[in-house]
Amino acid sequence: MNSQAINILIVMAVYFAAMMFFLYFVAFRMAKKTAEDYHMASREFKMIVLFFTIFGTNISAVALVGAPGSSYHVGWVTWAYYVSSWAWLSPLLFYLIGNRAWVLGKRHGFMTQADVISGRWKSNFLSYLIGIICLVYTVPYVMIGAMGGGQIFAGLTNGFIPYWLGAAIIMVMVTIYVVIGGMRGTAWTNVVETCIFLLGAIMMLVFVGWKLGGPETATSMIQKDMPYLLTREKFSILTFFSFGFIVSLAVPMFPQVFIRLLVGESRREFRKMCIIYPLAGLVIWFVVCYTGMWGHLLIPGLAGKDAEQIMPMLLSRYAPTWVSGLLGASMLAGAMSCMDAQILTVSTLVYKDFLSRSKKGQALSELTRVRFSQWMIVSVCVVAYILALTRPMAILLLVNWSFAGFAALLVPMLAALYWKRCTKTAVIASILVSQAILIGVPLKLLPASLTFGMLPGFSAMFFGAVTLVVFTYVTRPQEKSAIEGFFGEFAKVKERSWR
Amino acid sequence: MREVMVYVIAGLLMIFRADWWWWGKATPIVLFGWLSVAEVYQLGIFIVGWALVFYAAYGVWKIDDKDEEGVS
């Protein structure tokens, strides 16, 4: 066995043991055996845990693998792609949605988007529709997490630990602590994982910069040999423009993020989280994208998707073995921080949007509900692992659509929380129209001209919003008492700013 | 009204972040010997956006201790 592989395995084993020990003291001993505690940690997180669990769920394989790979090919524009939009616009939307959704969650036990939207119109159909959409887009993401873990392991050990084994190691580790810890466990592991990843990524950038003789030298070399990495000529401005909107609007509607918007102890803690989120976003994207771009100077000639291995390749070629073991573990920690949240979220969606709406589900004891959720997690992990081994293209397409699919759900969410005149029929029509465009355009069932030359998600949101407005005014408004009952919830809490 | 202004400014920032006027062109390096004008511009958009988050959280979304009392 090569020393690099042994080193990585030892670091991961120590890391896992430390994590379980840590979780025992901070999470498991505090847990109550109720479904509310298992899925929402009794909604008692303060700012630090709230921030790390929300931010950690955003650090996915996209940040670890996709962004450095993209920067390798197109340059620094990749960080601007996210930082000058998502990093600040998503927290603004967290505030817009989370402020009201948090009140409803605290009062009625709402956990998911389906809870909030169907709660406005008391509609099980809406709950099932939104629940299915969220599941269809989230499950493939779990698979992508497993694939990312397998790729990172293979890259760090130069293929000694094969892809299938790397993915299996990651899945087993995550399954164990998510099953045992639930929301409390995943949130606390997010704190540790995100800190490790942030520190590891910064160290990696410093290391690569030092190898090149400093940032100024690296920039001069790029200006001379690969100026296109600075001019952004290989990147479409229309994609830059439209994806900025889509990614920013999608993030608050990712089920794993939305659920976490409701787990804060108070809105005061939630507000603090919104303030520090943009800074962390700036740091992480700046670091991984510069590592990818400068990595091009150290390891030139990677084509296409091969560039996504740039970070583990830099470590395995240039870092001392013990350093690459530690930094490699930090990359895996980053991958796990997103995957664990998604796995728990799938369980929460099935439990809350489907099981708890059936009479049988409502009759179950709290302990049985927790056990059901735990078995659900194991099942999701097994399915995701099998899918990760087969790497089906259809599933990968779903992941590409998922950003836009979640962004389109923002329209009905805002309507449910803010628009009194809006009707149930309009919301259902809006959801169906936007999802039909998202699926119909890439499959050529609908004309490409519907996208106005931008990403399909942009037009899906536009036509979804238009449908919502038109159907709202051609259908009968909701009963006045129902509207007052729902919006009265917000009036009970003093919301000076909303008046 | 102040809240509407926050989202109008956010919309404008999202439009002007697409800096088509120097897209695809080399811009001079102006900061620390490695950040170009275009990068500094994108950083500027981020900073204004972050300031908006601050303003929304502390200027628009005011919470005092009694605000939380209505929620159980």
| Cross-chain residue pair B25–A231, CB shorter than 8 Å | yes
Residues of chain B with pLDDT below 50 are 69-70, 72
CA–CA–CA angle A164, A169, A172 (5° rounding): 120
ipTM: 0.88
The C-alpha of A173 sits at a distance from chain B's nearest C-alpha, in angstroms, of 36
Q: How far is B4 from chain A (nearest CA, A)?
A: 11
The structure's pTM equals: 0.85
**How big is chain A by its Cα radius of gyration, in Å?**
23
Q: How many helices (H) and strands (E) does chain A have?
A: 24, 0
pLDDT of residue A117: 92
- Distance, in Å, from the CA atom of A260 to the CA atom of A182, rounded to the nearest integer, reads 13
Looking at residue A217, what is its pLDDT?
A: 84
Determine, for residues A271 and B70 on separate chains, whether the beta-carbon distance falls below 8 Å. Answer: no
B66: closest chain A residue by CA: A494
The structure tokens 């406005």 sit at A120
Distance from CA of B40 to the nearest CA of A (A): 10
Which helix (DSSP H) or strand (DSSP E) does residue B29 occupy? strand B29-31
- At A498 the pLDDT is 38
| B59-B62-B65-B69 Cα dihedral, nearest 10 degrees | -170
Is there a contact between A76 and B39 (Cβ–Cβ < 8 Å)? yes
User: Residue B32: CB partners within 8 Å, gap ≥ 6?
Assistant: A215, A216
- B37 close to B27: Cβ distance less than 8 angstroms: yes
User: Taking CB atoms and an 8 Å cutoff, what residues of chain A touch B39?
Assistant: 76, 80
Cα nearest neighbour of A271 on chain B: B57
Closest CA to A336 of A4, A69, A23: A23
Chain B interface, best mutation among A36, A71, A88, by max B CB count within 10 A: A88
Q: What is the mean pLDDT of each run of 10 residues along chain A (499 residues)?
A: 71 78 72 81 86 83 76 86 87 87 87 90 90 87 81 78 86 86 85 80 82 82 81 82 82 90 85 90 88 85 78 75 70 77 89 85 82 88 86 63 83 91 93 88 76 75 92 89 81 50
d(CA A230, CA A296): 13
Report helix, strand or coil for B19: coil
Q: How far is CA B64 from CA A50, A130, B61, in A?
A: 20, 35, 10
B67 and A232: CB-CB below 8 Å? no
- Report the distance separating Cα A25 and Cα B39, nearest Å: 45
Residue B71 phi/psi, 5-degree rounding, is: -105, 125
Contacts of A185 by beta carbon, 8 Å cutoff, 6+ apart: A23, A27, A28, A31, A177, A178
Say if residues A434 and A464 touch (Cβ distance below 8 Å): yes
Q: Do A244 and B61 touch (CB under 8 A)?
A: no
List CB contacts (< 8 A) between B68 and chain A: 266-268, 493
Kindly state the tokens that stand for A347: 């369980």
Report the pLDDT value the prediction gives residue A389, as an integer from 0 to 100: 85
With CA atoms as reference, the chain A residue closest to B29 would be A219
Nearest to A494 among B23, B60, B70 (CB): B70
3-state helix vs strand vs coil in chain B, percent to 5 = 65, 5, 25
Q: Position of tokens 């949007």?
A: A353
Q: Which of A445, A350, A346, A455 is nearest to A403 (CA)?
A: A455
Best residue of A46, A89, A108, A410 to probe chain B, by most B CBs closer than 10 Å: A89
Size of interface A-B (CB pairs under 8 A): 124
Q: Which residues contact A425 (CB under 8 A, 6 or more apart)?
A: A471, A475
Residue B23 to residue A95, Cβ atoms within 8 A: no
**How many other C-beta atoms lie within 10 A of the C-beta of residue A473?**
12
